Structure 1
Amino acid sequence: MRTRIPLALVTVAAALAGCVTAQTAAAQPPAPRDGRTGHACSPMVAVHGYSDSLDKTRYHGLPVAGVSALAPDGDGHLAALSDRSVLFTLDVARHGPSPHARTVGGVRLADGAGAPLDSEGLVVERRGTRLVTSETEPSIGRYTADGTFTGERLPVPRALRVRPEGRAEPNQTFEGLTASHGGRKLTASMEGPLEGDGTDARRRALVRFQNWRLGPPSAPARGASPTSQWAYPVDAGLGVAEIAATGDGRYLVLERGYDVDAGANTIRLYLADPRRASDVAAVEALRTGPGGVRPARKTLLADLGDCPDLGAPNPSPQPNPLLDNIEALAVTGRSHGRLRLLLASDDNERAEEVTRLYRLSARLPRG
């Protein structure tokens, strides 16, 4: 999602927008805050390093910017989706705290009519094709690794389409995308609520997560059909920026917001458990309480503003200079009972924002 509120900030030093990696910060780590890593954001999440190696870079003339989604591509690289309708291939360091990266591929994307996308969500399928959301309609299309549109689109329930065709607000649709159940189940998250949907008892807006059952590997889109839908309560002032399946029926949810007066990003990582949530696919207006729907249960894993800053610079006066406009989240593996995570921020091609990669780990509470 492109920033919709102008940043009321004064740029500090243009030099700080250059390329910085976490190796300097790692040389002088902050005082340990837990016995495991010394980089704890919370009892369940730790940040191990960051890298600005992609910031303000270009690949064959394409700005490496607007990063909205990340996904392992199966051959040791990482696919990175730009909301400027570009799909990049990244080579990211696998060892050490810093996720230092270089761009090794980049292709433009377009819809069936040749028009660019407002591309936000990404899944790399086992056969190498890419499922990409466009926030405009919204839509989910299938692309080959070289960026060719295959002509396959998943059906989208009418209510989730942008007004007046549906009840979604512009720029508040499919922001996140993830696959589970061996790639046979797909889940997309709406960034904001539909017109007419309400809040829970804590006045948190209820946003919808839509599921699809994909067809056989030989023709997954042709057999795709929308299935269940569930409600998720998003914190006041925030939106759902990304989701990632954890492999046990639960989902990581990245919530994000920007306070223009404080000049600060808020980034929170939640664990959502929809296994006892109501199926709201046929529910016209979401409400909780007696006679209402049961939303997914969510548990705060970490407010990333509480992470140590690792000595990171930032060209804007963030209270925690490590943070920026984080939009992308991917699970890259497991180690010692913890999920390995990679996050990325979208600099919106602004001097006062940074394209930054973050390496984190998360220990999930028992389900």
Structure 2
Amino acid sequence: MSDRLKALADAGVSIWLDDLSRERIETGNLADLVAEKSVVGVTTNPTIFASAISDGERYDEQVRSLIKEGADVDKVIFELTTEDVRNACDVLATVADGSSSDGRVSIEVEPILANDTDGTIASAKALWSAVDRPNALIKIPATLEGLPAITAAIAEGISVNVTLIFSTERYRTVMHAYLSGLEQAKDNGLDLAQIQSVASFFVSRVDTEIDKRLDAIGSDEALALRGKAAVANARLAYAAFEEVIASDRWQALAAAGAKQQRPLWASTGVKNPDYSDTLYVTDLVVSGTVNTMPEKTMEAFADHGEVKGDQVSGRAQEAKALFDQLSEVGVDLDDVFLVLETEGVDKFKKSWLELVETVKGQMG
């Protein structure tokens, strides 16, 4: 057992692995990470699946079988990915049985539907039905078109991981979409206690974009602010979360058995080698949150990460002051978040096309 990762878990942070492959499942590696590295969840995306499928022969037999059945590339992708997520859900079933909110495995709706509400809803329903495990989460992007899809999915009892959240403003609309879905689910007579959700707030990409702008500005005041925006942004998001769970609206749903939509820190691998490789773990420790990490980040934390107690609660004012400084030196924060979401959706779609090409290659 990794003492450092255990300390992180003991501080109330749920450690989720941002990776999945059939090899991890079949060799017992995923089960080992659960047993030895305090891993209590898994997140996936098309890039992760493309890498897994291109690297391994473990998919070949299923691909051949699907081709014989006349499956097209979209059907092959659907069957390969839902099979992996279903089996990962089974590996994590004991964690889910012993936890009110962990033991979850996420699978993403088709990224090409990021700006298509009805298509996203249909994709979410199809994935939820195919995986057919209560500890699955369906990833839906926090685009303007994704918001009503989040509400619709929750209203039908589908557990959701909301992804691609960059700004506190958009995060508030995500929380509102979740509460609206719970209210509809309650009206539909569903058991609210069975519905799970996390809100994936992206971290490292914020520093990457803002640092680029600070470098371009070039003043001493601007350069002194590098590497600070992402953590401040996450702390502002957490303050917004605290406001919502203190509201009468949430309290009424909690009384009816609803679970909190936990903040999840995503994109926590550090992009700038000048920064500590555990920056977005150590500085975002707060109980009741999730940190989904690439294995490289998890191993770094296991080796030399530090848990210094709660680094998030009560720091919104300090974070707001930093954002004021960013504005003062000339960073257009509204534009930053617009660019990040646009790029995020574009990367989302590009990763899907990479997965399609990878699977076409496997199909011969």
TM-score, normalized by length of structure 1?
Answer: 0.31
Higher strand share: 1
User: Which structure has more RCO (C-alpha within 8 Å, separation ≥ 6)?
Assistant: 2
Higher helix share: 2
TM-score, normalized by length of structure 2?
Answer: 0.31
